Structure 1
Amino acid sequence: MDSLSSSQAKKLVLLSQGLPPKKKAQGSAISHTLSAIEQLGYIQIDTISVIQRAHHHTLWNRNPRYQLNHIDELVENREVFEYWSHAAAYLPMRDYRFSLYRKQAFKTGALSHWYKPNHELMKSVIQRIESEGPLMAKDFEGERKHKGGWGGKPAKQALETLFMQGDLMVSSRSNFHKVYDLTQRVVPETIDSSVPTAGEYARYLVTQFLKANGLGLAAEMSYLLKNTKPLVMKALSEMLEEGSVVQISVNGLAYFVLPGFLDLLNRPLARSKLKILSPFDNLLIQRKRMQALFGYNYLLECYVPEPKRQFGYFCLPILWQGELVGRMDCKVDRKTSVLNINNLVVEGAVEKWGSSKQESFVQALREELTGFMDFNQAQELIIHKANLAGING
């Protein structure tokens, strides 16, 4: 088995992830956004808004020309749709077929939803949307309760159950609230809607993960996808035997890669370009993977009681020189248009960096913060705390 150095493995991962992005991309800005979603396979949706939400942040980091209306336009144009990957996400419509495997599992009971199906209520919800057009959960509030129950909460549960099993899709969002419509009115007729076999679904998971991430383990390809790891392992065994995946050793672990993908290592990596990442960025979402490949130990502390937080409520990992070198806790005060960096921490023995490396880092951070402020519609920057001298200058 061939092997890669730790540095080569990181480079392969970053190039596959599109980080840092190329200076000049072909085509329109919105086509670049679609290409990024198709390359990554999904973009996680998150509601935390202390800075721009994670789905916008993740795409902005790969498309310098990204605009906040891109996702809505892509959904409206039926080039992107909402469903679950390991969490709520935007996915490319070209991959719609592969969402059907899980949708069928929810519909047949092979996978259990967190809501118990109320079939009478679900039927009523479908009938209303069929006759009235796209509706939100609030459109069902205040309905007179009948047998089986109306009311906001039961209707919301019915909508989400129908969404998870594929009868409804999110046709748009209004003030970030889901607008539901019948699936047949959302999916273009040109899209393949045949349900994949278990084998086809597993091969899709393997191939998409490796295209987006460069290299991977079976557990990473089935991350938070219930009942899929045995399918993925079977697919990997078959694909390894036929040569459609190969294995490579990194730090003593046998990772899978797609044949020819190691040729990416011949391309340059924009190491001097610094990127401020979202905690929900595709690169970072699997914390154990980041620990193994990058030696980066990360915990999102917004879910940790304040007295127990080590770095801050919403720390953003910092990528520079092909490494994850720090984190900064940020919040935008939208009333005053101020980007507050509450805590900036550079990893490891900062004092051993040397003045030249420290100056290069500070310059790269300043350059990136200029764009980051624009992206977050901030006009002023305040750094309250940092462990690197000269960062406030």
Structure 2
Amino acid sequence: MLTIEDLQSITLERQGLRYDASFGSGKDAVYQSLEQLGYLQIDTLSVVERAHHHTLWTRIPDYETSYLDELLEERQIFEYWFHAASYLPMQDFRFALPQMLEVRDNDSHYYNADSKVMRYIIDTIRAEGPKRARDFETQAKKSGSWWNWKPAKIALERLFLQGDLMISRREGMQKTYDLPERVLPEAIDLTIPTPREFASYLVKTYLNAYGWTTLKQILHLKTGETIRNDVRDVLSDLLEEGIIESIHIKGYPPVFVRYDLLGATAGISTPEIRLLSPFDNAIIHRDRVKQFFDFDYRIECYTPKEKRLYGYFCLPILFGNTFIGRVDCKAHRKQKQFEIIHLHLENQLIEFESWAKPFAERIKQFVLFNGCTSLKVSQVSPSNKTTKLRKLLEGLF
């Protein structure tokens, strides 16, 4: 009988968090990790290194931020929407088509773009080649222009969401748009999946990424009886074929576990410290993490300052299978100083000596990854650990 600890270990192994370099090294490891994780959330917040880079750095010790841009230009990955703006493996492109069609056919739920501006943007890119958003911003500011920047920005986003434009390259957060026929590989499958095929894609994506899943996770942000029924049917077929097994643990929702992973539940002999992005694939399904890891995590950057419990941009701290706390931090890039604004230690059952030095080493690596050369520790809770940790951490540089 599987235990909660077994389920934790399975997920962390599939997520590439049990061992360093689980996916290998270099750019190949970036593609391997994206293929297994299913998607990689893109985020614009830069309090520390942006989420898509942070998530990969956590799994790939020699990760470089240029790798994603290169894979995008090589047409191995593409940008679209999973539950949020994401990078996805190009092989999964056809499963983005239903949402593109939904956007195209439904004006009431998406950007209400000016059709004249949309036609102008498409015609300009077709005639002149790939364009950045700023190219249209410049055009809108010309004397006598019949449109301004805001309608163009809305039109670009609408054209992207409905699949009439794709992002062909990036320079940081600056996107370049082009026509799909000039971006997609020649052999790409453009067959629109049936609802049942799409349900199968969702189920298998989660099973591949986590090793096991729940009905709630598969249906995250998905509505309607059709998708719910199709997902249930796919799970039923996989159970009948012996590919998955349904596990019931008292006090927890039913979980569906890949049969081939049932024996891969050995404990971690040397626990590793991981500093996770708030948008990391392993932490993004908050209910799952709360239920199965006993860690109640919410990002508070969207919460009014007076209502925050932990800080603006806290990173979960994972030690082995256990979340031992969270750290609110900020990279002051101009000063090249990394600040630990508030380190919250929450699991007092784990001995300080067992995690403190590995934590310090991981912090040092993260400071360097963020382009900083010094470290400041402002606050630690509980306060009785402040002196030891400040000495240990600030002594790294």
Please say whether Structure 1 and Structure 2 have the same fold, judged by a TM-score greater than 0.5: yes
Task: Pick the aligned partner of 1:360 from 354, 376, 383.
Answer: 354
> Could you tell me how far apart the structure 2 residues matched to 1:386 and 1:44 are?
30
Task: Find the counterpart in structure 2 of residue 16 from structure 1.
Answer: 14
Q: Which amino acid aligns with 1:167?
A: D
Deviation at 1:8, TM superposition (A): 0.8
SS of equivalent residue, structure 2 residue 86: strand
Cα 1:366–1:194 change in 2 (3 A) is same
Looking at structure 1, the residues matched to 269 and 32 of structure 2 have their Cα atoms a distance apart, in angstroms, of 19
User: Which one-letter code corresponds to 2:126 in the other structure?
Assistant: E
- Asked if 1:386 corresponds to 2:386, the answer is no
Q: 1:314 to 1:198 in 2, by over 3 A?
A: same
Farther-moved stretch of structure 1 (306-315 vs 230-239): 230-239
1:137 correspondence with 2:129:
no
Query: Aligned partners of 2:101 and 2:228: how far apart in 1?
Result: 18
Please name the residue that 2:95 is paired with.
98
Alpha-carbon distance in 2 for matches of 1:94, 1:270? 36
Question: Who is 1:57 aligned against?
Answer: 54
Structure-2 separation of matches of 1:243 and 1:123: 51
Contact 1:290 1:297 in 2 (8 A): yes
Structure 1 residue 391 displacement after superposition: 1.1
Partner of 1:330: 329
1:40-76 CA distance string (max 9 Å, x none): 0111011110110000000000111100111101101
Partner of 1:185: 182
Residue in structure 1 matched with residue 316 of structure 2 by the alignment:
317
| Paired position in structure 1 for 2:214 | 217
Task: Check whether the contact 2:18–2:320 (CA below 8 A) recurs between aligned residues.
Answer: no
| Structure 2 gaps, min length 5 | 392-397
**Paired residues of 2:330 and 2:338 also in contact (CA < 8 A):** yes
Q: Deviations over 1:248-286 (max 9, x none)?
A: 1244421112231223325x6465210111000001111
1:321 offset after TM fit, Å? Answer: 2.3
Among all aligned residue pairs of Structure 1 and Structure 2, give the percentage whose two residues are the same amino acid: 40
**2:303 aligned partner, one-letter code:** V
Aligned mates of 2:312, 2:340 — CA distance in 1: 11
1:278/1:187 CA distance change after superposition, 3 Å:
same
The one-letter amino acid of 1:346's match is L
Q: Are the counterparts in 2 of residues 271 and 320 from structure 1 also a CA contact under 8 Å?
A: no
- How many residue pairs end up in the alignment? 381
Q: Aligned partners of 2:318 and 2:286: how far apart in 1?
A: 15
Q: CA deviation at 1:112?
A: 5.4
TM-score, with structure 2 as normaliser: 0.90
Aligned to 2:45: 48
Regions of 4+ moved over 6 Å? none
1:371 to 365, 380, 392: 365
Letter in 2 for 1:372: F
Which has the higher mean CA deviation after the structures are superposed, 50-59 or 380-389? 380-389
- The more displaced of 370-379 and 79-88 is 370-379
1:121 equivalent to 2:85? Answer no
Higher relative contact order (CA 8 A, sep 6+): 1
Following superposition, the deviation at residue 336 of structure 1 comes to 1.4
Shift of 1:190: 2.0
Range with greater deviation from structure 2 (382-391 or 178-187): 382-391
CA gap of 1:345–1:8, structure 2 versus 1, over 3 A, is same
Q: Structure 2: how far apart are the matches of 1:175 and 1:15? A: 30
